Structure 1
Amino acid sequence: MDAILKDFGTVLLWTLWFFIWIAALTVWIRCIFDLFGDTSLSGWAKAGWAILLVLLPWVGAVIYLVARGRSMNERQQAKVAELQAAQADYIKEVAGGPAAPVSPADQIASAKALLDAGTIDQSEFAALKAKALA
């Protein structure tokens, strides 16, 4: 019975270490992506942070989070807002948005242009004109 508990405890301990490792790796990768996505840092500053994050990955990630954690969040929020605005603009562009109402005179002029071009005949022109005036 003691061997079973010891094996179960070992499994739990390895599971705990696995999740700690994955969490630390996720934080490190997030720091790397934030570092190279930040346009306000100079090349030398990025190089210094990169060296710190590569040579001392876990300590470097903690230092990075302490030094630049607040600005990481601000940059992320700005990027999300920018993406939402771009998405809204795209949706408006694709949907066409509410079109300005076309006056009857414009509709008749458009139908007359189609008649002159030979696209429609006189009866179709008369039907479009009557619809515009209705």
Structure 2
Amino acid sequence: MTHPTPTPGTPAPGPAASLGARLAALVGDLDSQHRREQDAYAQGYRDGHRTGWQIGYGHAHHEMAGHWTRLAAHVRQLARTSPIDELERRRWDGRREDFANPRPTDRQSRRLAAALTRRRTA
């Protein structure tokens, strides 16, 4: 391998010349380096967002499972302890068949409504 001999009057390439050449190459590559950094940042942001989304869904599924477990236990407890007559009494305020029948408080509310009407007209 032969090395070129420097021509007389030109400085020999030294560390400063090679450093200058490397700096010039880096400055020339600045736009593509900036683009690579932006792409890496965007990819990292997307990965972080996706991971956060998956973690959030995991937490939500865990919470829903806990709520469903408590609800199922409550329904089982209710089904085991209350006969159908008790459930109808709670829901229909008595038996279901008697729900449409007049109640004692119906007359009282009618009397109160009539008294209010008389008071307004008087």
Q: Which TM-score bucket, shorter chain as reference?
A: 0.3 to 0.5
Q: State the TM-score, normalized to the length of structure 2.
A: 0.34
Q: Which has the higher helix share?
A: 1
